[in-house]
Amino acid sequence: MSFISIKIKGIILFFLIISCALTILLLENIYKRKEELNNKYSDLIKVTEEDTDPEKWGINWPKQYDSYKLNAEDTRTRFGGHGGSEALPEQKIERDPWLKRLFKGYSFSIDYRDRRGHAYMLQDQEQTLRQTKPQTGSCLHCHASVMPLYRELGDGDAMLGFEKTHKFSYNEINEMLHESGHGHPVSCVDCHDPKTMKLRVTRPGFINGIQKLAESETELPQFPSIERWIESNDSNPYDPNVHATQNEMRSFVCAQCHVEYYCASEMPLEFPWENGLKVEEIEEYWSEKKFPNGNEFYDYIHEESGAKIFKAQHPEFELWSQGIHARSGVACADCHMPYQRDGASKVSDHWVRSPLLNINNACQTCHQIDESEILARVDIIQDRNHKLLQQAGQALMDLLDAIQIAKNSGIKELELTKVFELQGKAQWRLDFIAAENSMGFHAPQEAARILGEAIDYARQGQSIALSMVIQIDQVMNFENKDKIFCDSTIKIIEKWINIVD
Amino acid sequence: MILKYKIELLIIIIVGILLGMLIYLFKYANGASYLSSDPNACINCHIMEPQFDSWQKSSHHSSASCVDCHLPHETIKKWIAKAENGFLHSKAFTLQNFHEPIMIKDKNKNILQKNCIQCHDSMTDDITNNHYPIKNDCLHCHSSVGHSNQIGMGKFTKELK
Residue pLDDT, tens place only, A396-436: 999 999 999 899 888 888 889 999 999 999 999 999 999 99
Closest Cα of chain B to A364: distance in Å? 6
End-to-end CA distance of chain B: 81
Residue B104 Cα, gap to closest chain A Cα (Å): 10
Q: Are residues B137 and B75 in the same domain?
A: yes
Partners of residue A296 on adjacent β-strands: A290
Q: What mean pLDDT is reported for chain A?
A: 90
What pLDDT score was predicted for residue A87?
A: 77
Q: Report the distance separating Cα A190 and Cα A145, nearest Å.
A: 7
Tell me if A16 and B11 make a contact (CB, 8 A cut-off). Answer: yes
Is pLDDT above 50 for B160?
no
Q: Is A9 on the interface with B (CB under 8 A)?
A: yes
Inside any domain, residue B160 = no
- Give the model's pLDDT for residue A478: 60
- B29 and B65 in a single domain? The answer is no
Q: Is the pLDDT of residue A484 over 60?
A: no
Helix A6-38 to helix B75-95 angle (10° resolution) is 80
The reply to whether B70 and B109 lie within a common domain is yes
d(CA A92, CA A96): 6
Number of neighbouring beta carbons within 10 Å of residue B132: 9
Residues of A in contact with B10 (CB under 8 A): 13
* Residue A313 predicted with pLDDT over 60: yes
Residue B7: the pLDDT is 83
Do A16 and B152 make contact, defined as CB atoms within 8 angstroms? no
Q: Which residues of A are less than 8 Å from B8 in CB distance?
A: 1, 9
State whether B25 and B53 are in the same domain: no
The shortest C-alpha distance from A21 to chain B (Å) reads 9
Q: Return contacts of A94-98, CB within 8 angstroms, 24+ apart.
A: A96/A390, A96/A393, A96/A434, A98/A393, A98/A394, A98/A396, A98/A397
Mutation target vs A (from B1, B3, B6, B7; most A CBs, 10 A cutoff)? B7
In the predicted model, is pLDDT for residue A327 greater than 50? yes
Highest average pLDDT, of A168-177, B55-64, B128-137, comes from: A168-177
- Which CB contacts under 8 angstroms, 24+ apart, belong to B152-156? B152/A334, B152/A339, B152/A365, B152/B50, B152/B53, B153/A246, B153/A247, B153/A250, B153/A331, B153/A334, B154/A247, B154/A329, B155/A247, B155/A328, B155/A329, B156/A224, B156/A225, B156/A245, B156/A246, B156/A247, B156/A248, B156/A329
N- to C-terminal Cα separation, chain A: 97
The answer, yes or no, to whether residue B134 has pLDDT greater than 80, is no
Lowest mean pLDDT among A482-486, A489-493, B29-33: A482-486
What pLDDT is stored for residue A499 in this prediction? 57
> Is the minimum CB–CB distance between A490 and chain B shorter than 8 Å?
no
Residue B96's pLDDT is what?
87
pLDDT at A408: 87
Is B121 a domain residue? Answer: yes
Dihedral in degrees, nearest 10, Cα atoms A262, A448, A394, A423: -40
A290, β-bridge pairs? A296
Fold of A373-500: Butyryl-CoA Dehydrogenase, subunit A; domain 3 (1.20.140)
Comparison of pLDDT for A343 and A310, the residue scoring more: A310
| Host H or E run for residue A340 | strand A339-342
pLDDT on residue A355: 95
Q: Which of A264, A214, A270 is nearest to A239 (CA)?
A: A214
The reply to whether B46 falls in a domain is: yes
Q: Mutate one of B9, B19, B21, B91 to test the A interface: name it (highest A CB count within 10 A).
A: B21
Q: What is the DSSP string of A416-469?
A: GHHHHHHHHHHHHHHHHHHSSTTTTTTSHHHHHHHHHHHHHHHHHHHHHHHHHH
Residues 314-333 of A with CB under 8 A from B: 328-329, 331
Spatial distance between the Cα atoms of B78 and B84, rounded to a whole number of angstroms: 10
Q: What is the mean pLDDT of residues A225-234?
A: 91
Mean pLDDT of A16-44: 86
* CB-CB under 8 Å, A30 with B100: no
Give B121's pLDDT tier (boundaries 50, 70, 90). confident
**pLDDT of res. A497:** 61
Shared domain check, B46 and B27: no
Q: Which domain holds residue B102?
A: 39-150
Whether A246 has its CB under 8 Å from any CB of chain B: the answer is yes
A232 touching chain B per CB within 8 A: no
A1 touches chain B (CB under 8 A): yes
Q: Does A23 touch chain B (CB under 8 A)?
A: yes
Q: Note the pLDDT tens digit of each residue in A260-273.
A: 999 888 899 999 99
* Beta carbons of B10 and A13 less than 8 Å apart: yes
Candidates A361, A340, A341; CA nearest to A349 is A340
Question: Count of domains in chain B?
Answer: 2
Residue A52 and residue A122: Cα distance in Å, rounded? 14
Enumerate the residues of chain A whose CB falls inside 8 A of the CB of residue B22. Answer: 23
Picking from A12, A329, A346, the nearest residue to B156 by CB comes out as A329
pLDDT given for residue B101 in this prediction: 82
Q: Do the domain assignments include residue B155?
A: no
* Same domain flag for B136 and B73: yes
Measured between CA atoms, the residue of chain B closest to residue A225 is: B158
Q: Please name the amino acid found at residue A250.
A: R
Assign A1 to helix, strand or coil.
Answer: coil
Cβ–Cβ under 8 Å, residues A45 and B47: no
Tell me the chain A residues in contact with residue B46 when contact means C-beta distances shorter than 8 Å.
Answer: 37, 344-346
**Comparing C-alpha atoms, which of A295, A289, A299, A297 is closest to residue A263?**
A299
Residue A5's pLDDT is 81
Question: Residue B129 has what DSSP assignment?
Answer: I
- Please list, in sequence order, all residues whose beta carbon lies within 8 angstroms of the beta carbon of residue A109, skipping any fewer than 6 positions away: A93, A100, A101, A102, A103
pLDDT tops 80 at residue A482: no
Question: How many Cβ pairs closer than 8 A exist between chain A and B?
Answer: 88
Nearest by CB to A365, from B10, B47, B101: name it. Answer: B101
Amino acid at A432: F
Quick: pLDDT tens for A144-160: 999 999 999 999 999 99
At A487, is the pLDDT very low, low, confident or very high (cuts 50, 70, 90)?
Answer: low
User: Is residue A194 predicted with pLDDT exceeding 70?
Assistant: yes
Instruction: Identify residues of B whose CB sits under 8 angstroms from chain A CBs.
Output: 5, 7-8, 10-11, 14-15, 17-18, 21-22, 24-25, 28-29, 45-47, 93-94, 96, 99-101, 103, 151-158, 161
Q: For residue B49, is it within any domain?
A: yes
Share of chain B above pLDDT 70, in %: 84
Q: Are A415 and A356 in contact (CB under 8 A)?
A: no
* A185 vs A40, residue with greater confidence: A185
The DSSP letter of residue A169 is B
Query: Would you say A421 and A442 are in contact if contact means Cβ atoms under 8 Å apart?
Result: no
Residue B161: what pLDDT?
33
Does one domain contain both B63 and B124?
yes
| pLDDT tens by residue, A339-371 | 888 877 788 999 999 999 999 889 988 887 889
In the predicted model, is pLDDT for residue A452 greater than 90? yes
Q: Distance (Å) from the C-alpha of residue A16 to the closest C-alpha of chain B?
A: 7
Question: CB contact, 8 Å: A368 with chain B?
Answer: yes
Residues from chain B that touch A228, judged by Cβ atoms under 8 A, are: 158, 161
The pLDDT tens digits of the residues spanning A48-77 come to 999 999 999 999 999 999 999 999 988 889
Across A19-28, average pLDDT: 92
Same domain, B109 and B65: yes
Contact A438, A379 (CB under 8 A): no
Mean pLDDT throughout A247-265?
A: 94
* ipTM of the complex as predicted: 0.73
Chain A residues near residue B147 by CB distance under 8 angstroms:
none
pLDDT digits (tens, 9 = 90+) for B59-87: 898 889 999 999 999 999 999 999 999 99
B52 vs B40: CA distance, rounded Å: 8
Residue B159, in any domain of the structure: no
B106 and B80 part of one domain: yes
Q: Looking at the predicted structure, is the pLDDT value of residue A140 above 60?
A: yes
B30 and B43 in a single domain? The answer is: no
For residue B125, pLDDT over 80 is answered with no
Name which residue leads in pLDDT, A30 or B125.
A30
B-chain residues within 8 Å CB-CB of A28? none
- Taking CA–CA distances from A220, the nearest residue in chain B reads B158
Residue B108 and residue B146 in one domain:
yes
Q: How far apart are CA B109 and CA A405, in angstroms?
A: 68
Q: What is the pLDDT of residues A95-109, one digit of tens each?
A: 899 999 999 989 898
Average pLDDT over every residue of B125-149: 74
User: What's the whole-number mean pLDDT along residues A36-43?
Assistant: 75
Q: What is the mean pLDDT of residues A485-498?
A: 65
Q: Note whether A30 contacts B46, CB cutoff 8 Å.
A: no
> Are B51 and B92 part of one and the same domain?
yes
Q: Do A16 and B157 touch (CB under 8 A)?
A: no
Residue closest to A299 by CA, chosen among A102, A96, A144: A102
Residue A299 identity: D
Residue A344 with chain B: CB contacts under 8 Å:
45-46
Among candidate residues B138, B89, B135, B96, the one with its CA nearest the CA of residue B116: B138
